[in-house]
Structure 1
Amino acid sequence: MSNPTMPVSERIALLPVAVQALAHELARFGVLQPAQQGLANAFIELLGDAEGPFERARLAGHFTASALVVSSDGARTLLTHHRKLGMWLQPGGHADGDRNLARVALRETEEETGLVGVTVQPGIFDLDRHWIPEHKSVPGHWHYDVRYVVRAGTDETFAVSEESHALAWVPLRDVADGEAYDASLRRMARRCLGVPAV
C-alpha cells in the first residue's frame, strides 16, 4: 500500500474510498487500545491490498468478523464449540466480500446461534490475527479478525448450527479466568468485565 512510516491519516487518505470508514475505525481503536495499535496498523495496511482482502480466496490472509455475544445482564457470553477447530470460541466467519464487518459479525451470530433480537454495539471491540490450519482442500492461512460486541435480547434460546458441536452460555468471569480458553477470547472477556490486561 503506502510507506508504513507515513502518518496514519495520510495512509488512510490513499486507500479506496469504500474502505476509508473502516480504516478510520481501526485507527480509533488503536488509539483506545495502545497494546493493539501495531495490529490495527497492520489491518489498515491490509485494506489497501489489491487482491481482495474481504474475499476468502486471498489465501495470504483475509478479513473475518466475529462477535463476543453478551447476555442482556452483561454477565455471560454465548460460545460455540467449533466443529472444525475443536475449541470453544465466539461466533464469527468470513466477510465474503462485505466491507461492513459489524454487519458480518451480526450475520454470523444469527446464523451460528439462532438468537433473535441481537444488536451490535458501535465500534470495534478487539482485533486478532490468527493462523487457520489446513482443512481439506484449503491451505493454511491468516484470519484478520475484527471483533464486535453483540448484545442478546431477553430471549436467550439458541440453536446449534452445522458449524458447531454445541453452544453454551458461559459466565464471562469463567472465560476471563479460564486457562482452557483461547487467549484472545480471555482477553475479550477481561476487557468486557473491565479487568486490566495481564
Structure 2
Amino acid sequence: MNRISLRENLQNYRTPYEEEADFTSEFLELTFDDLAFKRERLEGHFTASAWIVNKRRTHSLLTLHGKLNRWLQLGGHADGNENLLEVAMTEAREESGLTSLRLVDRRIFDIDKHIIPQRGDVPEHFHFDVRYLIEAELDEPLIISKESNDLAWINFDSIEDMIGFNPSIVRMLEKTNKSEILI
C-alpha cells in the first residue's frame, strides 16, 4: 500500500460526518505532494492511527499522550513511509506492546485534520491523520512506551467523560457503535 492506493482509498472513502467530508479533498490533494509523508512539510503532513477495540466492542485502548497530555488513540508520524496502514500497525505495537493486534478492515476507518501546537522550534502545523480499525485482546498485558504517560482500556460508556469533548474520538466511538462490523 503506497500513496497511489491511499489516493484510491481516499477517493472511495464515504462518510456521513460533515466534518470529515469537508476535508477529504485536502487529504486527496496532499497525496500528490512529495513531502506529504515527512515531518519536514511544516504546514502539515500525514500521520496514521489505530482505533483499537476489543472483539466485543465494549472498550477502546487509549494513551495519555506524553507531549499533549490528552487521552488519544495510538498512532504517529509516517516519517517517509507511504504505507499508512503499516504505520498505524507499527505505532500500535510500539506504543502498547500488544501482540494480538488484528486489522479489522484494510479500508480507512476515519480521517481527521487537526492542529498541533508549536513546540520548540517546530511551528504550529496540521496532522492529516488516517485511521484504521484494529482489534486486540482485552486481557493481554500492556507496555507503556516512552511516548505515553499512561495507557488504558476504556469502557465505551466512559470514554466521553474521560477525554472531555474531542469530536474525532467521539466520531470514531459512534462509528464503532453503529457499525458492529466483522465481529
Check whether TM > 0.5.
yes
Counterparts in 2 of 1:20-169, with a 5 A limit?
20-29=4-13, 31-33=14-16, 35=18, 36-50=20-34, 52-121=35-104, 122-153=106-137, 155-169=139-153
C-alpha distance in 1, partners of 2:103/2:73?
14
C-alpha distance in 2, partners of 1:161/1:83?
9
Instruction: Report the CA distance shift for 1:157/1:133 in structure 2 as closer, same or farther (over 3 A).
Output: same
For structure 1, which segment, 176-185 or 99-108, has the greater mean C-alpha deviation from structure 2 after superposition? 176-185
Question: Is the 1:63–1:94 contact (alpha carbons within 8 Å) kept by the matching residues of 2?
Answer: yes
Query: Based on CA coordinates, which of the two structures has the bigger radius of gyration?
Result: 1
C-alpha RMSD over aligned residues:
1.8
1:182 maps to 2:166: yes
Taking structure 2 as the reference length, the TM-score comes to 0.89
Gaps of 5+ in 1: 1-17
C-alpha distance in 2, partners of 1:107/1:191?
23
C-alpha distance in 2, partners of 1:155/1:25?
33
Task: Tell me how far 1:136 sits from its aligned partner.
Answer: 2.1
C-alpha distance in 1, partners of 2:45/2:109?
19
Paired residue type of 2:40? A
Task: Tell me how far 1:187 sits from its aligned partner.
Answer: 1.0
Question: Is the 1:131–1:142 contact (alpha carbons within 8 Å) kept by the matching residues of 2?
Answer: yes
Percent identity, aligned pairs only? 40
Taking structure 1 as the reference length, the TM-score comes to 0.82
Runs of at least 4 residues of structure 1 off by over 6 A?
Answer: none
Gaps of 5+ in 2: none
Task: Tell me how far 1:178 sits from its aligned partner.
Answer: 5.8
C-alpha distance in 1, partners of 2:122/2:163?
30
C-alpha distance in 2, partners of 1:184/1:130?
9
Task: Tell me how far 1:174 sits from its aligned partner.
Answer: 2.3
C-alpha distance in 2, partners of 1:22/1:40?
12
Question: Is the 1:175–1:181 contact (alpha carbons within 8 Å) kept by the matching residues of 2?
Answer: no
For structure 1, which segment, 98-107 or 33-42, has the greater mean C-alpha deviation from structure 2 after superposition? 33-42
For structure 1, which segment, 62-71 or 151-160, has the greater mean C-alpha deviation from structure 2 after superposition? 151-160
C-alpha distance in 2, partners of 1:70/1:179?
16
Task: Tell me how far 1:144 sits from its aligned partner.
Answer: 0.2
C-alpha distance in 2, partners of 1:120/1:98?
18
Task: Tell me how far 1:37 sits from its aligned partner.
Answer: 2.6
Structure with bigger RCO (C-alpha 8 Å, 6+ apart):
2
Question: Is the 2:3–2:83 contact (alpha carbons within 8 Å) kept by the matching residues of 1?
Answer: no
What do residues 93-122 of structure 1 show as CA deviations (whole Å, max 9, x unaligned)?
Answer: 000111111111110000111111202222
